[in-house]
Amino acid sequence: MTNRHEAYLYHVTFNAMHNLDLNDPRKMHAHTFRVGMYVMENQKDHPGFFNNEKMIRDYFERYQGIRLNELPLFKEVVPTLENMGDTFYHDLKPLFERHGMQLLSLEIGDSPISVYCIGERLLLGDISNLIPDGAEEAYCQRVRKKYENILTRKNP
């Protein structure tokens, strides 16, 4: 029998500008950031998700339509996806806990192919949950051996 896991996935988007080069303000550019939060209930008697949508909206409202580099937090720290994701995760974790929920992981992206993830647990749907123990390492060893053989043939 497998363990069953249940969680909510909340998404929020906000438009903001940031600059990855703190020395050149002309490189400021805009994104529509998308944040996903996997959240699990710690209580079964009454769901906490009713209050979460408002809490999430209120939290991210402060980032809507602004230049992130002008926030005190990002004056010295470059507002990269990683730094933003770490900030959001560490801010939201205790907020969810106060609502009887546990923030499992947070994802933030500024394009369909660029997403940063942070969490204290494996992400839901992670490929490693779908394969038997040891299969991932066995696959990596086969790939390494294949490329070692290819390199050996090129460099006799």
pLDDT one-digit tens code per residue, 86-140: 999 999 999 999 888 889 999 999 988 888 999 876 554 544 444 456 655 666 6
Q: Which residues contact 80 (CB under 8 A, 6 or more apart)?
A: 20
* Residue 120 pLDDT: 77
Which is nearest to 121 in space by CA: 39, 46, 56, 12? 39
